Amino acid sequence: MNLRIASVLFAAFLFGCKISSAALQRYESDSTGMPGFRDYSLMYSNYYSGIGYANVTHRDFATSPLFYDASAVSVNMGWPRVKEKSRREIGIEALAGISSARVPMKTEYIVISSSGIYSGNVHFDYLRKRNFPKLKSETWFGLSLQSRFNFRINSDLGNNGSGIEALANLMASGRIEKDFSKKAGEGKAFLFFKRKKDVYRMLCFQINAGFLNFNYRPGYAYSGFSEFNGSQTNGLQFLLANHSWSLNGFRINTKLEWILNKKNKYSDRWVYSWDLIHAPGKYERFQMVVHTFTYSMLLFRK
């Protein structure tokens, strides 16, 4: 099961790379000079695709008071579109990993409890530029619509072994971008060497805080019998029959991006993101923290 999902995620990454490569060829044929990073961002649609490592901590009080810590593989892709006054981005991220329960250390018998976790996140950001001249940076404010879907498997929990939750959040969003581009001969490369080429670099920090937080969580007894229509009963519908939507909890996430543009052919994009979720639901709360470190290629497309 894990192998199958990992294969799908890897295939999605390869597919993304293939699109990136095609986009790169178009970019090179269009290239006539050496405009700056920001110019390219404005002129073209941006596309990124990447892979990384995620550290996930989750706790579902409906089945356990224990935190589970997971190491996971993460893949992502996104389509930012930057204009003079506005910025929008659609992105998706998927991760798959194995988590272990944070059991007490002082025990006579070792308890090993593990869970598989698969999670997908979709976001759509729409931000408007707001200039603060003193900051000497570009600042953006707007909204982010995000949705995360989790599927967890823990065979130790029997009939409660499948954990499913969905989260949908409308978030206030703020972003700051600082351009650290340098011309050849300007400054020192790696502190010592004279810079021989132009280098385009940008540091971005974005924070999103949810103000409408929906979560889709299990019923009072976690799972129970719902109407059973013979062998036509769909297993997934049966599993979700006692789930319901609630409007409560909070979600906050941040993203720190370091974008390095080499010879304008493509950009390296290093991202550290953090996502914290608290979803009380109607009966039992769910908590999750995701730290993700990803590398992605950022390309410009017509």
Q: Is 113 in the site for other proteins (CB under 8 A)?
A: yes
Burial of 52 (0-12, 13-18, 19+ CB in 10 A): buried
- Smallest distance from other proteins to CB 99, Å: 13
Question: Contact, 251 vs 277, CB < 8 A?
Answer: yes
Instruction: Count Cβ neighbours within 10 Å for each residue of 56-91 and write b for 16 or more, e otherwise.
Output: bbbbbebbbebebbbebbbbbbbebbbeeeebebeb
Per CB under 8 A, the list member of 73, 151, 276, 280 interacting with other proteins is: 276
| Contact call for residue 53 and other proteins (CB under 8 A) | no
Among 82, 117, 157, 240, binds other proteins (CB under 8 A): 157
**Is residue 133 a contact point for other proteins (CB under 8 A)?**
no
Instruction: Name 67's Cβ contacts closer than 8 Å, sequence gap at least 6.
Output: 57, 58, 59, 101, 102
Stretch that binds other proteins, among 72-80, 99-107, 116-124, 209-217 (CB under 8 A): 99-107
Shortest gap between Cβ of 115 and other proteins (angstroms)? 10
Cβ atoms 292, 52 nearer than 8 A: yes
Q: How far is the CB of 256 from other proteins (least distance, A)?
A: 5
Is residue 203 within the footprint of other proteins (CB under 8 A)? yes
For 99-136, give the DSSP string: EEE---S--SS----EEEEEEEEEEEEEEEE--BGGGT
Q: Which of 192, 231, 236, 247 binds other proteins (CB under 8 A)?
A: 231
Q: Is 67 in the site for other proteins (CB under 8 A)?
A: yes
Bridge partners, 89 (sequence order): 80, 125
Task: Say if CB 59 and CB 102 are below 8 A apart.
Answer: no
Confirm or reject binding of residue 272 to other proteins (CB under 8 A). yes
Minimum Å gap between C-beta 276 and other proteins is 6
223 interacts with other proteins by CB under 8 A: yes
Number of other CB atoms surrounding residue 4 within 10 Å: 9
Smallest separation, CB 222 to other proteins (Å): 5
Residue 155 CB, nearest distance to other proteins (Å)? 9
Q: Does 233 bind other proteins (CB under 8 A)?
A: yes
Residues 51, 75: Cα–Cα separation, whole Å: 4
Sole binder of other proteins in the list 228, 245, 293, 295 (CB under 8 A): 228
d(CA 284, CA 280): 6
**Binding-site member from 252, 268, 270, 301 for other proteins (CB under 8 A):** 252
For residues 35 and 187, which CB has a smaller minimum distance to other proteins in the complex?
187
Give the whole-angstrom CA distance, residue 113 versus residue 295: 31
Q: Which residues bind other proteins (CB under 8 A)?
A: 59, 63-67, 101-104, 106-113, 156-161, 178, 180, 203, 205, 219-233, 235, 242, 250, 252, 254, 256, 272, 274, 276, 278, 287, 289
